[in-house]
Amino acid sequence: MDVSTLTEHILAIDSRVWQPFAMPLVLVIVGGLLTLMTGFVQIRRFPIAFRMALGGLLRKDADAGQTITSFQALSTALAATVGNGNIGGVATAILIGGPGAVFWMWACAAVGMATKYAEAVLAVHYRVTRETGELASGPMYYILRGSASPGLGRLFAYLFAAFGAVTCLAGTGNMAQSNTVARTFVEAARTLAGVEVPTWVPGVLITAAVGLVLLGGLKRIATTAERIVPLMIVIYVSTALIYVVLNVGQLPHVFSLIFSEAFTPTAAVGGFVGASVAQAIAAGVSRGVLSNEAGLGSAPIVHGVANVKHPAEQGLVGVFEVFTDTIVVCSMTAFVILSSGLWTDVAYQGASGDLTAAALSTSIPGASLVVALSSFLFGFSTLIGWSYYGEKCFEFLFGSKVVVLYRALFTILVMVGAVVSVQLVWAVGTLLNGFMAFPNLMGMLLLLGTVRKITQDYFANRGEYGVSHPTTGARYDGRA
């Protein structure tokens, strides 16, 4: 079977997983229920979430033991979420589903903020201490320990860990990132210097950088993320904002396209072959989940080891994470691409991050260099974040002795991702995301009552944690 045939088969399966009445419906149902259970936490409590996130940026508390600061947890989670899904993922969503895909990306984020809140809450509440002395958390632990149905809890916990391990190695947190880094690097070299650079060259660079950080474990990952994440977001968003200001007259047309074509088919125009409403929903929701990871179960693996006084505090930080990723960063990319008109250009129908680079360059000379730098930082930060997620899934399944082997395998696949085709790497990535999200979402349905109880406890008691710890029965004191 050749690569093109394999890609077609994977795309066919992927389209079934992400068709409107499959994973998108499950995400909306779970997110909607969590929104109700938490009293619309993503809306009513957003000002608190905003203050907590900014407060964490200004606070540099030294933390003992195996925890990391709340802001380091946010930075590491943002490092994994604000990745090349924000550059290449948004581009592929528009190329597959048309402008209407952006609306469905926003819809995904609207309920996803409540989902991410609940994931972080459960992750802190049910975290454990491994035999190594390190804290461990994530869906595999909160589903296994929190479910009132031991059989179902065990099934969903191990399914999540297995799918999570594979996704971290071959999915959007690894190979898709190095692929977009390589392609934006090649685009910058071609447009700025007229040089054709093979994709393996940037592939070697990103592989070496990732390998060096992985040697240091969570502390080095968190410290690295804390330093580069705010910088990379400011660089990229500032450049995109300059573009939008220069083309502000296009915004009414862009918004009209996004809202009108979310509910009507997008007609064929230029090189764009057209898209149905189902394709817009599938592309928008799948790329939305890829970008903000709400419901995917990845981010709670790091949110769960944050040093906080109450699980709801880290949950509120998770709300801000989704807002930053999708409502801010993804929207800026979408505005740039749709304003430029290049999404209809036949030359970019198989593109990803290189479309974003070309779009910015239509108004900002040299912008492809900024996108290449942003792509490298986004991809690098996502890679180190997802390496930790996969490591914890492997550790849950096989014990701590496999960590070194896992890190080596992860690093090798970074290089592989740099040289494979765009269509194949993104199809594999979004398909695996669906498999990973399903057991997490099913587990969260079993824990709706716990999320509600912890949320009510926090806002009723002004942060004094009155919910019994799942193991000791004592009040929670910020430790496992």
- Residues 311-333 have pLDDT tens digits of 999 999 899 989 988 999 899 99
Q: How many CB atoms lie within 10 A of CB 55?
A: 12
Out of 51-60, 142-151, 378-387, which region has the weakest mean confidence (pLDDT)?
51-60
Q: Considering the chain, what is the average pLDDT of its residues? A: 85
- CA R_g for the chain: 21
Mean pLDDT for 401-429 is 86
3-state secondary structure the chain: CCHHHHHHHHHHHHHHHCCCCCHHHHHHHHHHHHHHHCCCHHHHCHHHHHHHHHHHHHCCCCCCCCCECHHHHHHHHHHHHCCCHHHHHHHHHHHHHCCHHHHHHHHHHHHHHHHHHHHHHHHHHCCEECCCCCEECCHHHHHHHHCCCHHHHHHHHHHHHHHHHHHHHHCCCCHHHHHHHHHHHHHHHHHHHCCCCCCHHHHHHHHHHHHHHHCCHHHHHHHHHHHHHHHHHHHHHHHHHHHHHHCHHHHHHHHHHHHHCCCCCECCECCECCECHHHHHHHHHHHHHHHHCCCCCCCHHHHCCECCCCHHHHHHHHHHHHHHHHHHHHHHHHHHHHHHCHHHCHHHCCCCHHHHHHHHHCCCCCHHHHHHHHHHHHHHHHHHHHHHHHHHHHHHHHCHHHHHHHHHHHHHHHHHHHHCCHHHHHHHHHHHHHHHHHHHHHHHHHCHHHHHHHHHHHHHCCCCCCCECCCCCCECCCCC
pLDDT score recorded for residue 479: 38
- Look up tokens 């490298």; give the residue: 376
Mean pLDDT for 49-76 is 64
CA distance 384 to 56: 21
* Alpha-carbon distances, residue 370 vs 207, 333, 452 (angstroms): 20, 13, 43
Is the pLDDT confidence value at 436 over 70?
yes
Residue ranges of domains in the chain: 3-456
Phi, psi of 283 (to 5 degrees): -65, -45
Which residue from 28, 103, 434 is spatially nearest to 280, judged by alpha carbons?
Answer: 103
Contact indicator for 115, 444 with CB cutoff of 8 Å: yes
**Percent above pLDDT 70 for the chain:** 87
Is the pLDDT confidence value at 161 over 80?
yes
- 3-456 — its CATH code? 1.20.1740.10
Regarding predicted confidence, which is higher, 478 or 466?
466
Burial 304-342 (b: 16+ CB within 10 A, else e): bbbbbebbbbbbbbbbbbbbbbbbebbbbbbbbbbbbeb
Which residue from 118, 117, 38 is spatially nearest to 452, judged by alpha carbons?
Answer: 38
Phi, psi of 381 (to 5 degrees): -65, -40
Is the pLDDT confidence value at 344 over 90?
yes
* Alpha-carbon distances, residue 231 vs 49, 347, 373, 461 (angstroms): 21, 32, 11, 36
pLDDT score recorded for residue 379: 79
* Model pLDDT for residues 102-145, shown as the tens digit of each residue: 999 999 999 999 999 999 999 999 999 877 778 889 999 999 99
How many Å is the maximal CA-CA distance in the chain? Answer: 66
453 class by beta-carbon count within 10 Å (0-12 exposed, 13-18 middle, 19+ buried): middle
Distance from the Cα of residue 351 to its chain's centroid: 20
Mean pLDDT for 4-23 is 86
